[in-house]
Amino acid sequence: IVDRDPAVQEARLKLPVCGEEQVIMEAIRNNTVVIICGETGSGKTTQVPQFLYEAGWSHPDSDNPGLIGVTQPRRVATVSMAKRVGHELNLSEDEVSYQIRYDATVSDKTRIKFMTDGVLLRELSQDLLLTKYSVLIIDEAHERNLNTDILIGVVSRVLKLRAQLSREDREKIQPLRVVIMSATLRVTDFTENKTLFATPPPVINVNARQFPVNTHFNRRTPEDHLSEAFKKVCKIHQKLPHGGILVFLTGQNEITQLCRQLRKKYPSLPANASKKAVADEKDGEALESQTEKIQPGKEDLENEDIDLGENQVQEDFDLETDSEDDDDLGFEEDEMEQVDDAPLHVLPLYSMLPTEAQLRVFEPPPEGSRLCVIATNVAETSVTIPGVRYVVDSGKAKERQFDMNTGVQSFQIGWTSKAAADQRAGRAGRTGPGHCYRLYSSAVFDNEFERFTKPEIQRMPIEGVVLNMKSMHIDNVINFPFPTPPPRDSLSKAEKMLGYLGAVNTTTKQITAFGETMSLFPITPRFAKMLTVGQQHECLAYVIAIVSALSVGDPFIQDYHLDENRPGDEEDSEDDLDQQELSNFHNESAIDKQKRKLVRKKYYQTQVKHSSLDPKSDIIKLLNVVGAYEYAGGSSEFCNDSFLRPRAMEDIRKLRRQLTNMVAANFPGVNVCVDPKMAPPSALQLKVLRQVMMTGLIDCVAMRQDVVDTEGGKGQRFKNASNVPYKLMWSDDVAYIHPSSILYGQEPPPILVYTELFKSTRTWLKGCTTVESK
Ligand code: ADP
Ligand code: MG
């Protein structure tokens, strides 16, 4: 008995998936696992949970009283889809709820629960049978995220268990149903994997009306896809008939740049726009400014677009010289229109954008203007934008890369896959025939694009996942039914590291009591280790603050021009920095330059100020920052003055509360709270804190190369850490102290521990702490 708004009802009946409702429900009733494949935008995510709800699933008096669970790889999709389905069903947040890492609307009235797959994985370690749920929808399975893959593996076993138990006592436990939903058709990893599902599950294909899309390759592949995208959008807008434009770029930085360029060139509203429209536009743009960047290298069980901001993009686009005949738009002369200065409604779309700003892409553009959305690959499959007729595809994507041998993480922009490029093209054919402009040549597409994107499990550090699996008593991770098994090598490496940390018994491979405690915390095993050993000398409150900050990631706004390395530079004088600035900002006025210089000076002073407790540790610097932030009542002014990202600080605060509560609940007799007036640690406590940090960073040790070379001798003397190489413990690589470290400006210590290895132009050590010699 659903009371939908008539407009909602009308819109949903047009969705292709609604034509298959009978088939889908029949299949779910008759099979424990069902796979639904359908073009993006066909209505899978918003409608399938409603089919189940309407058929009585999750109703307390039905045969299947358990919740309808839906997992998503991305936080934003989790929240916005819960909102959308709640709206369509005309139900409250209590009933159609969501749960993400820091936030939840779940209540005891909840019937449909959207969650990130990370959240469900954590629930699994508490309740292996998933008894709360009667049906589980695993969405976006084609993305092949680490978490989704693990979930599918675990769930394939839960299914068997639940089936078996319910045969024994149907009263007590019902079987679980699982629906796997996917956009592209590569489902053979799921269907033909006998260790996963012994009988291949049925696959329901939802045939969406897909209009033909004309694909146009560039004749040449330009160096700079951003300025090429700008040119292409301008041409489309000026010459081609009405219809939305969707541009695929790699990240937040590029997107903001292009938005700015386009907004500068074209007005956003028609000349006769109402006052309200103007005000709305302003509000919308204000919302966008509340964005934030996630820092790299932090293990976060939820997948997000990550933008490093390390790539400074050229400011000036070269508009005039366009000699190549790449401006063939594939239209006849008489189809072309010539519009000058017509309004263009430019909207960004990426995961870190606030939800409200994201939802703007679903609204029709102002009367008389053309919609132009600049997006990351969120728009590839997670979100469908109405009215898109032209797609401009850079062909690039930013991916997290992980070097299994060195442990180094990096973010690299590379070609996407053929499957992804076809998905992107398909976005132009949802509402009518469309065109896709690929900013690369067909030769590049043929020869350099992989057929499919590599599953994330083959590119990721997995110790956190292995610990999680161990706590679910999956001891033999090597034989786990992964849809695509990770290299055995990396599995045994992760096991080994967990052995070092004392979380896993090195002979039985089973989780230790200590590891059990570690696995309770939703943070990476290293940091969990720090928490579990941090109970001496009343240090726990400090350890919690430290671990919260480390887990969220560096909260400082990165002065990222520092990131740019100057290979070949012998010296590292202030002058060089200026030179660097100059080349980046050749069109910047002298005044601006001076301003920047002052800002940078203040930036360093802030860093030094926060290091007064201990000038030799970035971690203690973080502790100081977290304490000071709380003392200042979490004010945004404090963040501004201290070059901190407010949202990161807010996340740290939330995690700190959460961990404090968890510690209080799990460590009997321990008395901790979040004290806004926390006193700084004593000298003794500082010493203990260092030891605690070491236990988590036991294998993150770097020694100065010259000290290694002289076999522990004194080594050379250095004024600061610039260009001083360090040798890593487990590899032959060298690394350098990152300029953001407080150790950078000092005499570099012979030995240090680091929290993060990061590779851009060279390998950097971040979050450093000096190891004092006895
Ligand atoms: P799929 O999961 O198959 O990709 P969805 O269920 O996400 O498809 O989307 C179905 C339709 O619902 C799409 O046309 C999409 O534009 C629309 N839609 C989704 N979310 C919203 C929203 N918040 N506001 C308006 N329309 C939406
Ligand atoms: Mg979907």
Q: Does 577 score more than 80 pLDDT? A: no
Mean pLDDT to the nearest integer, 244-269: 93
Residue 58 has pLDDT above 90, yes or no: yes
Ligand 1 atom, smallest distance to 81 CA: 20
Is 40's C-beta closer than 6 angstroms to any atom of ligand 1? yes
C-alpha 656/C-alpha 767 separation (Å) is: 19
314 vs 174, higher pLDDT: 174
Distance (Å) from CA 112 to ligand 2 centroid: 16
Q: Are 137 and 179 in contact (CB under 8 A)?
A: yes
Number of CB atoms found within 10 A of residue 568's CB: 5
At 396-449, the pLDDT tens digits run: 988 766 555 445 555 678 899 998 999 999 999 988 899 999 999 999 999 999
Main-chain dihedrals φ then ψ at residue 323, nearest 5 degrees: -80, -35
Per DSSP, the three-state class of 399 is strand
CA of 77 to the centre of ligand 2 (A): 8
Asked if residue 674 has pLDDT above 90, the reply is no
Answer yes or no: is the C-beta of 253 below 6 A from any ligand 1 atom.
no
Name the least confident of 88-92, 311-315, 387-391, 680-684: 311-315
Percent of the chain with pLDDT over 90: 45
ipTM above 0.85, yes or no: yes
pLDDT at residue 384, rounded to an integer: 83
What rounded mean pLDDT belongs to the chain? 84
Question: pLDDT by residue (tens digit) across 346-378?
Answer: 999 887 777 778 888 888 999 889 999 999 887
Output the pLDDT for position 573. Answer: 35
**Ligand 1: which of 21, 24, 362, 371 to mutate, most ligand atoms within 8 Å of CB?**
362
Mean pLDDT value across residues 698-719: 85
Q: What is the dihedral of CA 656, 660, 661, 667, to 10 degrees?
A: 150
pLDDT of residue 567: 30
**Atom 20 of ligand 1: nearest residue by CA position:** 84
Are the C-beta atoms of 213 and 433 separated by less than 8 Å? yes
The pLDDT confidence band at residue 565, using thresholds 50, 70 and 90, is very low
Amino acid at 395: G
User: 3-state secondary structure string, 192-255?
Assistant: CCCCCCCCCCCEEEECCCCCCEEEEECCCCCCCHHHHHHHHHHHHHHHCCCCEEEEECCCHHHH
**pLDDT 10s digits, 439-475:** 999 999 999 999 888 887 777 667 877 887 788 777 8
Which of ligand 1's atoms lies nearest the C-alpha of 382?
4
Ligand 1 neighbour 46 (Cβ under 6 A):
yes
Res 285: pLDDT: 83
Per the CB < 8 A criterion, the answer to whether 552 and 648 are in contact is yes
Cα 156 to Cα 20: distance, rounded to the nearest angstrom: 25
Q: What are phi and psi of 424, to 5 degrees?
A: -60, -45
* pLDDT of 581 higher than 90: no
Per-residue pLDDT at 460: 66
- Which pLDDT value is given to residue 319? 31
- How far, in whole angstroms, is CA 606 from its chain's centroid? 29
Most confident of 9-23, 142-156, 337-351, 534-548: 9-23
Determine the pLDDT at residue 297.
27
142: Cβ below 6 Å to ligand 1?
Answer: no
Percent of residues in the chain assigned helix, strand, coil, to nearest 5: 40, 15, 45
Chain centroid to Cα 623, Å, comes to 25
As given in the structure block, the two tokens for residue 616 are 């030799």
What pLDDT, on the 0 to 100 scale, is given for residue 559? Answer: 58
- What is the tally of helices (H) and strands (E) in the chain? 26, 23
Band (251; pLDDT cuts 50, 70, 90): confident
pLDDT at 566 over 70: no
Q: Is 316's pLDDT higher than 60?
A: no
Euclidean distance between CA atoms 40 and 208, whole angstroms? 9
Please tell me the predicted confidence (pLDDT) of residue 562: 43
Distance 268 CA to ligand 1 centre (A): 25
Q: What is the pLDDT of residue 571?
A: 31
Mutate which of 4, 37, 84 for ligand 1? The one with the most ligand atoms within 8 Å of its CB, which is 84
